């Protein structure tokens, strides 16, 4: 198992993600300024951006409904956002748990006290980007008789 440095910082938040350029290009191409994207993978990109922003800009404040017992349930909006990412990018149940926990404990991610979760969140952004790229390439029209050059 990989170890994560205690001082791990969110890479996509700092515009230094593993696939940052690809992420930026795909986001510009697939995600409308408002509303739902026309494809599930475009919507996964849209929602992972919303989740990431909620965590690092708002500390998860809008994502969680806290109760008097200390429970932290996601609001319907963010429960739906997590589902859109998982379904739209064909992610695993472990990825769903990571996204849910990242939103629940966003304040800890913002204070950099949960480096492993921050790293896993960045890994999920990379997975979503890879999946969206793959689906975009599959959807490109092909010309007959054109081979690899």
- In the predicted model, is pLDDT for residue 103 greater than 70? yes
pLDDT of residue 127: 98
- In the predicted model, is pLDDT for residue 1 greater than 60? no
Least confident of 1-5, 20-24, 26-30: 1-5
pLDDT of residue 147: 61
**Mean pLDDT of the residues in the chain:** 88
Examine residue 10 and state whether it is found in any structural domain, yes or no.
Answer: no
Examine residue 148 and state whether it is found in any structural domain, yes or no.
Answer: no
CA distance 26 to 48: 13
Domain that holds residue 81: 20-138
- In the predicted model, is pLDDT for residue 123 greater than 60? yes
- In the predicted model, is pLDDT for residue 11 greater than 70? yes
Examine residue 7 and state whether it is found in any structural domain, yes or no.
Answer: no
- In the predicted model, is pLDDT for residue 44 greater than 70? yes
Examine residue 62 and state whether it is found in any structural domain, yes or no.
Answer: yes
Residue indicated by tokens 């490109």? 140
Examine residue 130 and state whether it is found in any structural domain, yes or no.
Answer: yes
pLDDT of residue 146: 65
* Percentage of the residues of the chain whose pLDDT score is greater than 90: 65
pTM for this predicted structure: 0.86
Q: Please list, in sequence order, all residues whose beta carbon lies within 8 angstroms of the beta carbon of residue 47, skipping any fewer than 6 positions away.
A: 81, 82, 84, 85, 88
Examine residue 147 and state whether it is found in any structural domain, yes or no.
Answer: no
Examine residue 14 and state whether it is found in any structural domain, yes or no.
Answer: no
pLDDT tens sequence across 47-97:
999 999 999 999 999 999 876 656 689 999 999 999 999 999 999 999 999
Count: domains in the chain: 1
Examine residue 143 and state whether it is found in any structural domain, yes or no.
Answer: no
């Amino acid at each position: 198992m990989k170890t994560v440095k205690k001082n791990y910082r969110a890479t996509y938040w700092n515009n230094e993600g593993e696939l940052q350029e690809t992420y930026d290009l795909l986001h510009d191409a697939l995600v409308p300024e408002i509303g739902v994207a026309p494809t599930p993978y475009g919507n996964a990109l849209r929602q992972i951006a919303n989740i990431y922003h909620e965590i690092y800009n708002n500390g998860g404040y809008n994502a969680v409904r806290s109760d008097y017992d200390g429970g932290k349930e996601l609001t319907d909006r963010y429960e739906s956002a997590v589902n859109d990412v998982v379904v739209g990018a064909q992610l695993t149940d472990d990825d769903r748990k990571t996204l849910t926990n990242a939103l629940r404990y966003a304040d800890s991610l913002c204070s950099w006290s949960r480096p492993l979760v921050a790293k896993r969140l960045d890994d999920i952004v990379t997975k979503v980007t890879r999946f969206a790229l793959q689906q975009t390439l599959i959807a490109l029209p092909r010309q007959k008789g054109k081979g690899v050059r």
